[in-house]
Amino acid sequence: MMKRFLTALQFLTIIPVPGIRDVDDEALGASMSFFPLVGLLIGLILMGVRYLLAPLLPPSLADILVIAVLVVVTGALHLDGFADTIDGLAGGNDRERTLAIMKDSRIGSFAVVGLVLIVGLKAAALMEIPEMLKSEALIAAPVLGRWSTVQLAAWFDYARSGYGTGQAFVRCTGRRESAISTLITAVILLIIFGIGGLMPLLVIAIFTALFGLFFRTRLGGVTGDIMGAACEMSEAVVLLVVCGLFV
């Protein structure tokens, strides 16, 4: 169990994890069960950073820096997937062209605009959340963001024909990982929000299902980039939901 968590931690963050090398596809898939726990750790880091910054800086500036820390701690992993997905959707007229654009490491103007908007949206939403709920929101967002990637991997096919990291997750992630990650996520949300914490989970479940169905129709399934995009967008949606439900 600990090895699976550390595998997830190594993949999802820049935090050094000694002793985890030569991870095979099965280990990657099994590690998805613990993606929400990594999200919890990320959230605790964000909460701690904001606690340290709050007495020193204006609240809005502290919130912006916290979002910047989120980008750094995760190595912009999912932002990269988000950018590639935006480029693919903007420039691809068919399945093959869309997937080819997404695979290209270069990003275009649509991706740049999308990155600015998604990061700005997170910062703006965090600013509007009352001080008493910021810590809870900073935990819920990364937890649910990573939970959404597990569900896409577990319930949708891989869109590409060739091998990729995304294929390893999709091929080796199943109903078991989906169920375990959901249980972990629900417990975390119930602890921090009470019964009201199930509402953000429901919203992200619906969002993730619609997101996956869209790409199943458009591309025949999901890719690693699409899962990264889902994580980024889910984080933003969670912050907006907290604004709407708890403000």
Its pTM stands at 0.95
SS3 105: coil
Q: From the CB of residue 92, how many other CB atoms can be counted at a distance below 10 Å?
A: 17
CB of 203 within 8 A of CB of 110? no
CB of 211 within 8 A of CB of 205? no
pLDDT of 206 reads: 98
3-state secondary structure 197-240: HHHHHHHHHHHHHHHHHHHHHHHCCECHHHHHHHHHHHHHHHHH
- Domain positions in the chain: 29-246
Separation of alpha carbons 68 and 90, rounded Å: 26
With a cut of 70, list the residues of the chain below it in pLDDT: 20, 22, 163-164, 246-247
Kindly tell me the number of DSSP H helices and DSSP E strands found in the chain. 12, 0
Separation of alpha carbons 6 and 144, rounded Å: 19
pLDDT, tens digit, for every residue of 116-133? 999 999 999 999 999 999
pLDDT, tens digit, for every residue of 145-199? 999 999 999 999 999 887 667 888 898 899 999 999 999 999 999 999 999 889 9
pLDDT of 76 reads: 94
CB of 54 within 8 A of CB of 62? yes
